Structure 1
Amino acid sequence: MPGGERVSEAPPPAGAFETGPLLLGVRHHGPGSARAVRAALDAAAPAAVLIEGPPEADPLIPLAADPGLRPPVALLAHAVDEPGRSAFWPMAEFSPEWVAIRWAVERGVPARFIDLPATHSLAWEEDTGDGDPEEEAEHARVDPLAALAEAAGYDDPERWWEDAVEHRGPGRSEPFAPFAALEDAMGALRERYGDGGRPRDRVREAYMRLQIRAARREFGDEVAVVCGAWHVPALRAKATVTADRALLKGLPKLKTDLTWVPWTHRRLARSSGYGAGIDSPGWYAHLFGAPDRPVERWLTKVAGLLREEDRIVSSAHVIEAVRLADTLAVMRGRPLAGLTETTDAVRAVLCEGSDVPLSLVYDRLVVGDVLGEVPESAPAVPLQRDLAREQRRLRLKPEALERELELDLRKDTDAARGRLLHRLRLLGVGWGEPARSRGSTGTFRETWRLRWEPELSVRIAEAGVWGTTVLGAATAKAEADAAGARALADVTALAEQCLLAGLPDALPVVMRVLADRAALDTDVSHLAQALPALVRSLRYGDVRGTDTGALADVAAALAERVFIGLPPACTTLDTDAAQEMRGHVDAVHGAVGLLAETLTGHDGLRPRWRAVLRTLSQRDTVPGLLRGRAVRLLLDDGVLEADDVARLMGLALSPGILPGDAAAWVEGFVGGGGGGLLLVHDERLLGLVDAWLTSVPADAFTDVLPLLRRTFSAYEPGVRRTLGELVRRGPGGGAGAAGHPATSSGFAPEPDAGRADAVLPVLRLLLGLAPEQAQSTDDDLAGVGA
């Protein structure tokens, strides 16, 4: 066993191994259990330590001596042929299992895992059971901690555990007493509930008993066993070797690999769905690591966090919070202030009664974002090793706390970082997610949200079937996805991904598939969906210096096919189909504009598209939603004059048109971005809409109301308020300069000097001008607008 010869220890105290192996029942991830295990091992000095965990991980135990293995970490087991089938055994610094491993490694004592091998547990499907369903329903799955807390008169299992264990450390004179008491309690629970709704535990415990017998033959009775307290009564029970082997007969098998992987405090939390989770891993880590005065040290941490967030927290606040926490503990009859008392004190004193900063304390400290580390010497699939090299080269360290990463693609390092993140996304490894940039919107900039989750290690293992490097695996995955893609839009999206990820070898394969699919696909909606992604690919290619000649030809040909097929495809559509087609029309409109700017020698694309829009705007068989949208797009491009638009709107809203069709036309024309401002600044159009709306018969108004509400509710509050004021005043309700009537409501040919002069006192106040300076300043300001 690495770590040197076994350190000579004093003889174990009398009674430590009188009844056989020393069974140390623990709570997984319990700092009180961890301290008690360390004290018991120091006192008993066993010849071997047996730990609940998969035996295939025994060769990984010596890595615990490597300073590069820093908890929280987890043993990851996955099926070799099906990496997605996996299981984790997490361990934090305050986990009793980790303490036992470290104790054994530091002293050169053999340590072994004795739980059911991963080769069986991974092959054993979740729905496999071995008992009477009615009996299992009667004896539902039991939470031992909750049952003991209820018996002690507590309604909160975590609070009971703190009072019973965390705040009452093991006595030095009786290091085994806590385990004896817990064993008695669990024995009573097992007598009452049997396997507690866990029929698989019978098989696991049979295997553990066999492993304990083997260890006793090798080391004698001086063996310590660290396992969940629930299992201790079953391990102590008398059972024959034949009976135990019978339970293990015929178990399914899978070939598995195991390694250490980083874990996080957040994934230890019960809220993450982890079965043996705890509510407050950050608090437990603090209790385990604090040498003394845990409440004072905790509240000092909280104060430091709040100060980092620019909240005013003084030493007096901390002193008062400590006093309040201690007082609450006395009032509630607790041996020491626990998390409940400290949280109440933080809320009242440091957060001034607000739950907003308190939620930050809970997220950052009570749970925490600590991420463990694993040394390079740990076993890993080749793809994982290549990713680790890329992360070091590009200085992209995995972190548990979510952070934003701004990339300037004109810089080599940032461009390489972007390619790596896109390649991982293509492989299904979602380390980074694209986000909207808060700064520049140019195509040379990318924004990512990065957060490393332990499950990504499984995704990397799964992706290892595509190659041994990130580049090679992403290339192979893109080629396979292209061959298996069913929709044309999927292929164009894949072409875009290839450009973003910098996969020059995969792009020709994808382009061949794209050209074949585009030639055979006759569905205009599919072509319209595919075009925007192609155009974006051309733009991204320009930024990254990629040759996109083949993409340009396909995009231009695809656009021509959309132009030809769109007008027939837009006729006789129902409401839902028209809504979907409107999205396609908007996307194609934007794509054509970018395509015309990007491609040389394709100057006719924009006029051809405008001709298509004119056709849509004038064809009666096209739904009103699409006709109105086509008119709006032509107006935005400057193709239609305001008089032409007013004429078309007057026709669409004439009395002979059904109210529902007219409302759909209005939605298409003024719905979406900028529609409200269009009505604000062109009151002729607003007047037409207003006149039509007031003429809608009462019996039809209820039918058109949902359409109108959907249209106008999307406007900004300020736009809606302005439109309401304009409609309230009515046409001609305003007066122009020098008393001349306005040509339309709220507007006049010349600025209103009286209203403009009203801002001068405010300007003088803002500029801090003295009264004697007011006249000259007013003259200067007036001259600005002359």
Structure 2
Amino acid sequence: MNDTRWPQAYASGPLLLGVRHHGPGSARAVRGALDAARPAVVLVEGPPEADALIPLAADPGLRPPVALLAHAVDEPGRSAFWPFADFSPEWVAIRWALEHGVPAHFIDLPAAHTLAREKGEQDPGAKREGEVRGDPLAVLAEAAGHDDPERWWEDIVEHRGPGERDPFVPFAALADAMGALRERYDAGGHGRDLFREAHMRLRLRAARKEFGEQVAVVCGAWHVPALREKTTVAADRALLKGLAKVRTDLTWVPWTHRRLARSSGYGAGIASPGWYGHLFHAPDRPVERWLTKVARLLREEDRIVSSAHVIEAVRLAETLAALRGRPLPGLGETTDAVRAVMGDGSDVPLALVHDRLVVGDVLGEVPESAPAVPLQRDLARQQRALRLKPAALERELELDLRGDTDAGRSRLLHRLRLLGVGWGEPARSRGSTGTFRETWRLRWEPELSVRVAEAGVWGTTVLGAAQARAEADATAACALADVTALAERCLLAGLPNALPVVMRVLADRAALDTDVGHLAQALPALVRSLRYGDVRGTDTGALAGVAMGLAERVFVGLPPACAALDRDAADEMRGHVDAVHSAVGLLTETRAGAVAGGAAAAGSGPFGAGPGGGLRDRWRAVLRALSSRDSVPGVLRGRAVRLLLDDGALRSEEAARLMGLALSPGTAPADAAAWIEGFVGGGGGLLLVHDERLLALVDGWLRGVSGEAFTDVLPLLRRTFAAYEPGVRRTLGELVRRGPADRAAGRAAHGAVTPGFAAEPDTGRADAVLPVLRLLLGLDDDSDMRDDNILAGVGV
């Protein structure tokens, strides 16, 4: 059957190649052994249901790292992975079989049994050396006098050259060592290993019956003694009889080097997949090539690294290896050399090298011909159409929703978030804050393939599945804020057909909810939805009516709800007041924009006279009521005064009068401090810088607080002023240090204005920035936009 002689040591049995999963030295040794033995069939550790997927390994579009994904048909979230890197011995064995026209089969316990395990039990398909039973390699390393099993394994296996005289000797030695370990520590295997090894023996017997003795088996070294064990077919079948099973589907999915790392929680993980990949692919001089990669990476990060640094690092790594008695420099020696030569003794560059090179962000690829659920195929089609390729390295994506491609990308990412597929997470934009801009942080993780399979129960397309999921979530939602947030997400995801269901549920929940806090919490998301709908061209008429109804109910119920609150409840309510204030501003602006665009007639609709004026006036009346009620906590009264002042509905003289009343001797110090926190808290220090009357009131009140009361109010004041920018705090400190007399003298010397500030804006300096502003805003010199409008738009 073969033109080469079967190894004498295996003349009466199969060729058992025990390996370390994802070990480049093992992978090279497996390839050498298979080249020498030329077996008639290759058996590999893995789920037998994946035999039909083995031919895809010959497809150029299937690029490791990849993984076999098995999931239960009726419960896609129940899944298991079998990862393969290009330096995994099992992958090398499969590729060798395909290249030489030799059958290859998986022989591990079927995934149908693996996925039927009881809840909480560990996945036997992913259990490798180094888990519950302890790390057998660590035991062998300790017996050899080494305290580091990784270094010991590198020395005896990974650094072995390809020119060994007998390629089978290392496997025989490792099998004998594992046999001794199992006799002493775990003669019968551990946990579900008994079932796995029984099934492996059954598959091995079937292969020997079909192909004779020229059978090669590539499996974890721990299992080799069990495959040598003399057992009967009846005994193995009896052991497997009655195991639970479920219907399963399997496919290939992309994997990453980061998920091969032990730190990811993968049981057979390795500490340095990037380093192992380098060792496997480097044709010669692996140390020199590695340190050249490190130098290139550091140069890309603007660190000064020359060719001389590389030469010196190589010499140091070789010297360290010789001093430590190692055959070749390993990762430890190269790391020490990088720290000393390229990093000037600092560990800072080492973190970058470890993240980018030692571990790495390599993401595998899977061809379109691989089996997939319909939802996965639709997602892949949209990813290609939108030029949005998954990547393992986290990256930021800036979207301009005015363009069709970016708008489509936004809808896709929002729909996936609705489906629980967190490929992208919204991030804060560093540039424009307009509603036509979005920033996303993208990173594809292998587990997202499972999430896509789970989401397949909602539909066969991303659009259909997201719509069905939104409708189901709306029906199941209990809190009003959850429904309004869902309405916002539907608009962002472009799901107009789901809005009727969401709006019906929203109207029902809003009619039944009497908690003002819930209503106030729900309003901002609803108002944001109006603006998002405007940007995306979505009809939001129904949303506007519900938003107005919520706003009216908040206006009526807020003053009584703010009475007699304790400290924590008052702080929470302050957040609601701020949110409603912002929502009212957005709501009136949105309505004003609609009126200006001819979408509605001024003075019509529930907004009252003018584009939103009635709504804003009613909200200001609510704030005035809050500011004047003694039963309302000080933090809310102070906040109401501040919002009115910022809104132009309260003159600064009146604000000073109200502050004077709040800080009068008749007010308890703690209540006065709370009023100050509400008024100038949250970064409002510039108000005190510019208005010396307010600063004098706070300063005078604080100097009059008794020593006993000062201890009580200090935490409140510290929390208030700690939120200010450092420059604001310094300026306030300087103003307070001068004292009232010095401040008054300074005002007299500077024309009754605060020192450092002019009485009027400097129009000359403002005009000087106009060309730059026009350039940034994309306005031509002959644009009809007035200069004062441009300056007003940027707050000048």
TM-score between the two structures when normalised by the length of structure 1? 0.91
Find the residue that maps to 2:76 and give its secondary structure: coil
Identity value in percent: 81
CA distance in 2, matches of 1:412, 1:656: 63
CA spacing shift, 1:289–1:749, aligned 2, 3 Å: closer
CA distance in 2, matches of 1:706, 1:737: 32
Aligned to 1:646: 656
RMSD in angstroms over aligned alpha carbons? 1.8
Find the residue that maps to 2:292 and give its secondary structure: helix
CA spacing shift, 1:742–1:734, aligned 2, 3 Å: farther
CA distance in 2, matches of 1:747, 1:59: 79
Asked if 1:429 is matched to 2:429, the reply is no
Asked if 1:621 is matched to 2:631, the reply is yes
Deviation of 1:107 (Å): 1.1
Find the residue that maps to 2:619 and give its secondary structure: helix
Asked if 1:26 is matched to 2:36, the reply is no
CA spacing shift, 1:140–1:538, aligned 2, 3 Å: closer
Deviation of 1:615 (Å): 0.2
Match of 1:714 among 698, 701, 723: 723
Aligned to 2:779: none
State the AA in 1 paired with 2:141: A
Deviation of 1:13 (Å): 4.1
State the AA in 2 paired with 1:21: P
Q: How many residues align?
A: 734
Match of 2:670 among 660, 670, 681: 660
CA spacing shift, 1:644–1:163, aligned 2, 3 Å: same
Contact 2:395 2:441 in 1 (8 A): yes
Asked if 1:293 is matched to 2:285, the reply is yes
Contact 2:685 2:724 in 1 (8 A): yes
CA distance in 2, matches of 1:21, 1:729: 92
Asked if 1:733 is matched to 2:710, the reply is no
CA distance in 2, matches of 1:12, 1:740: 106
CA spacing shift, 1:747–1:416, aligned 2, 3 Å: closer
Deviation of 1:747 (Å): 6.6
Contact 1:434 1:448 in 2 (8 A): yes
Asked if 1:47 is matched to 2:56, the reply is no
State the AA in 2 paired with 1:710: R
CA spacing shift, 1:301–1:344, aligned 2, 3 Å: same
Find the residue that maps to 2:17 and give its secondary structure: strand
Contact 2:7 2:37 in 1 (8 A): no
CA distance in 1, matches of 2:459, 2:757: 70
Aligned to 1:383: 375
CA spacing shift, 1:128–1:91, aligned 2, 3 Å: closer
State the AA in 2 paired with 1:725: E
Contact 1:734 1:744 in 2 (8 A): no
Deviation of 1:171 (Å): 4.6
Aligned to 1:781: none
Q: What whole-Å deviation, never above 9, does each CA across 1:441-484 have from its counterpart, x for those lacking one?
A: 11111011111000000000000000000001001111111111
Contact 1:436 1:447 in 2 (8 A): yes
Aligned to 2:201: 209
State the AA in 1 paired with 2:729: R
Find the residue that maps to 1:730 and give its secondary structure: helix
Aligned to 2:480: 488
State the AA in 2 paired with 1:512: R
Asked if 1:260 is matched to 2:270, the reply is no
Aligned to 2:794: none
Please give the residue correspondences for 1:310-349 in structure 2 after superposition, counting only pairs within 5 Å: 310-349=302-341
CA distance in 2, matches of 1:93, 1:597: 58
Asked if 1:118 is matched to 2:111, the reply is yes
Contact 2:721 2:729 in 1 (8 A): yes
Contact 1:726 1:745 in 2 (8 A): no
Please give the residue correspondences for 1:433-472 in structure 2 after superposition, counting only pairs within 5 Å: 433-472=425-464
CA distance in 1, matches of 2:163, 2:452: 46
CA spacing shift, 1:639–1:216, aligned 2, 3 Å: same
Find the residue that maps to 2:328 and give its secondary structure: coil
Please give the residue correspondences for 1:350-365 in structure 2 after superposition, counting only pairs within 5 Å: 350-365=342-357
Asked if 1:67 is matched to 2:60, the reply is yes
Deviation of 1:595 (Å): 0.4
Find the residue that maps to 1:732 and give its secondary structure: helix
CA distance in 2, matches of 1:493, 1:555: 13
| Structure 2: runs of 5+ lacking an equivalent | 123-130, 596-603, 761-796
Range with bigger deviation, 401-410 or 168-177: 168-177
Q: What whole-Å deviation, never above 9, does each CA across 1:714-753 have from its counterpart, x for those lacking one?
A: 11111111111111111131476898487587578879xx
Asked if 1:95 is matched to 2:88, the reply is yes
Please give the residue correspondences for 1:169-318 in structure 2 after superposition, counting only pairs within 5 Å: 169=161, 171-194=163-186, 198-318=190-310
CA distance in 2, matches of 1:737, 1:461: 71
State the AA in 2 paired with 1:159: R
State the AA in 1 paired with 2:687: L
Contact 1:49 1:109 in 2 (8 A): yes
Contact 1:528 1:588 in 2 (8 A): yes
Deviation of 1:668 (Å): 0.7
CA distance in 2, matches of 1:198, 1:181: 22
Q: What whole-Å deviation, never above 9, does each CA across 1:22-73 have from its counterpart, x for those lacking one?
A: 1100000000000000001111111111111001101000111111100000
Contact 1:499 1:546 in 2 (8 A): yes
Deviation of 1:321 (Å): 1.1
Q: What whole-Å deviation, never above 9, does each CA across 1:317-351 have from its counterpart, x for those lacking one?
A: 11111111111111111100111111111122222
Find the residue that maps to 1:239 and give its secondary structure: coil
Contact 2:690 2:754 in 1 (8 A): no
Deviation of 1:352 (Å): 2.4
State the AA in 2 paired with 1:687: A
CA distance in 1, matches of 2:52, 2:759: 87
CA distance in 1, matches of 2:344, 2:3: 54
State the AA in 2 paired with 1:489: A
Aligned to 1:758: none
Q: What whole-Å deviation, never above 9, does each CA across 1:69-105 have from its counterpart, x for those lacking one?
A: 0000000000111111100000000000000100111
CA spacing shift, 1:707–1:672, aligned 2, 3 Å: same
Aligned to 1:575: 567
Find the residue that maps to 1:505 and give its secondary structure: helix
CA distance in 1, matches of 2:110, 2:429: 48
CA distance in 2, matches of 1:126, 1:157: 33
Contact 1:140 1:197 in 2 (8 A): no
Please give the residue correspondences for 1:697-708 in structure 2 after superposition, counting only pairs within 5 Å: 697-708=706-717
Aligned to 2:587: 595
Asked if 1:677 is matched to 2:683, the reply is no
CA spacing shift, 1:422–1:241, aligned 2, 3 Å: same
Deviation of 1:302 (Å): 1.2
Aligned to 2:620: 610
Please give the residue correspondences for 1:132-151 in structure 2 after superposition, counting only pairs within 5 Å: 141-151=133-143
CA distance in 1, matches of 2:187, 2:561: 65
Contact 2:747 2:754 in 1 (8 A): no
Find the residue that maps to 1:731 and give its secondary structure: helix
Q: What whole-Å deviation, never above 9, does each CA across 1:205-250 have from its counterpart, x for those lacking one?
A: 1111111111111111111110000111111112222222222122
Asked if 1:686 is matched to 2:679, the reply is no
Find the residue that maps to 1:112 and give its secondary structure: strand
State the AA in 2 paired with 1:35: R
State the AA in 2 paired with 1:80: V
Deviation of 1:173 (Å): 2.2
Please give the residue correspondences for 1:524-535 in structure 2 after superposition, counting only pairs within 5 Å: 524-535=516-527
Find the residue that maps to 1:87 and give its secondary structure: strand
Contact 1:405 1:447 in 2 (8 A): yes
